[in-house]
Amino acid sequence: MAAGRESVTIADVARRAGVSPATVSRIMNGRFAGEDVVAERVRAAADELSYAPSPLARSLALGRTHAIAFVVPDLANPAFQSVLAGLSKTAARDGYRVLIADSGESPSEEPLLATEIRRRTDAIVLCAPRMPEDELAALVERLQPLVLINRGLPEGSGPSGAPSLRIDYRTGIRALAEHLHELGHRHLAYVHGPERSASNAHRERGLDEFARDHPDVRIDRIPAGAASDDGRAAAPRVRESGATAALAFNDLVAIGLIGGLREFGLRVPDDISVTGFDDIPLAQYLDPALTTASVPHADLGVVAWSRMHALIRGETPGEDVLFQPRLELRASAAAPRT
């Protein structure tokens, strides 16, 4: 009744139905042009043996795996989790699965990691904020089809470049800074992300623009990272800076920072305002609710798949997208004490 320990192969089905493996293959794949009787017989045989083709063997023969790779710097970050959820759900709808790789602990091995995982899949969604531009360009060259998240390629990288989905961190953080300025803050602290992070660089640029427009404002830059622990660790320096408001690299950092400040007896926003970035799912429920720039991460995943799917089918993918964050003004940023 049930299949034995050894899995049942196409040859078993063929034998039972009295046809060749080739015919079985054709029938299973809809490329069959013969009599219906035969097809029925084969299907019956397959059912009786509860046959299912080996995805591995198919992949090898076909040259496609129906799987895509997703490389992220930190899977523990809710922002990436949302992207993943969106990506995975939509890809599944088209019969594709997602193989994940967290490059977190070894940025230097990211190219190897990506290369390795790419070979197991048909395509790759790459999220590598800290990768040097030249390495990135090399990967884009070698690993296609490829979709970039939050990274662009230098101008003139040719038409063969990868679709790129980015978030306008520059404009987003600038808007946050403007908001703080309007609230009356004149001394800000930027608790920045990982060194060499491209998305951090974009934020810095946004702040530079803001600074140019507002010479009266002082901005201190305080090193941190991308996780909440980094934010917490930065609390002392933020406090020492004397800033009345802190722009955190992202929501996680903001949360850690708020926690850290609280340990000094500082209250947000009474004593100091704090803003985040991302609008992770729980940001609105935090204490205090976090003022942040909202990014539709799940949509990012969905669009990533749509681009990917087009690429895989050899169609031209849609245009690059620069997602515009939406300001979410909540309780964590308020007017400075007078």
Applying CB under 8 A, which residues contact a copy of itself?
Answer: 52, 54-57, 59-60, 65, 67, 75-76, 78, 81-82, 84-85, 88-89, 92, 97-102, 104-105, 115-117, 119-120, 228, 255, 258-259, 280-282, 285-289, 298
DSSP H or E run through 247: strand 245-248
Instruction: Kindly tell me which residue out of 18, 154, 242, 318 binds DNA, with binding defined by CB under 7 A.
Output: 18
Report in angstroms how near the CB of residue 187 gets to a copy of itself at its nearest.
Answer: 25
- Between 19 and 165, CB nearer to DNA: 19
Give the range of 13-21, 99-107, 136-144, 191-199 binding DNA by CB under 7 A.
13-21
Stretch that binds DNA, among 12-20, 160-168, 196-204, 314-322 (CB under 7 A): 12-20
Minimum CB separation of residue 171 from DNA in Å reads 45
How far apart, in whole angstroms, are the C-alpha atoms of residue 186 and residue 217? 5
The partner in contact with residue 98, picked from a copy of itself, DNA, none with C-beta cut-offs of 5 to 8 angstroms by kind, is a copy of itself
Buried b (16+ CB within 10 A) or exposed e, 144-177: ebbbbbbbbbeeeeeeebbbbbbbbbbbbbbbbb
Phi, then psi, of 59 in degrees rounded to 5? -55, -45
Among residues 20 and 106, whose Cβ is nearest to DNA? 20
Site for DNA in 46-75 (CB under 7 A): 51-54, 56-58, 60-63
77, 124, 123: which is closest to 227 by C-alpha?
77
Residue 103 DSSP one-character state: -
C-alpha span between 59 and 311 (Å, rounded): 18
User: Does residue 36 interact with DNA by CB under 7 A?
Assistant: no
Query: Which entry of a copy of itself, DNA, none binds 84, CB below 5 to 8 A by partner kind?
Result: a copy of itself
Distance (Å, rounded) from C-alpha 279 to C-alpha 292?
6
**Which residues, in sequence order, are CB contacts of 280 under 8 Å at separation 6+?**
78, 79, 82, 251, 252
The candidate with the shortest Cα–Cα distance to 117, out of 142, 135, 138, is 142
In the complex, the smallest distance separating the C-beta of residue 100 from DNA, rounded to whole angstroms, is 24
Which CB, 23 or 164, lies closer to DNA? 23
Structure tokens at 99: 């193989």
From the list 74, 140, 149, the residue with the least C-alpha distance to 111 is 140
> Looking at 1, 3, 31, 317, which residue binds DNA (CB under 7 A)?
31
Nearest Cα neighbor of 203 from 213, 212, 193 is 193
Q: Which does 44 bind (CB under 5 to 8 A by kind): a copy of itself, DNA, none?
A: none
Q: Which does 9 bind (CB under 5 to 8 A by kind): a copy of itself, DNA, none?
A: DNA
Residue ranges that bind DNA, judged by CB under 7 A: 6-7, 9-11, 18-26, 28-29, 31-35, 38, 51-54, 56-58, 60-63
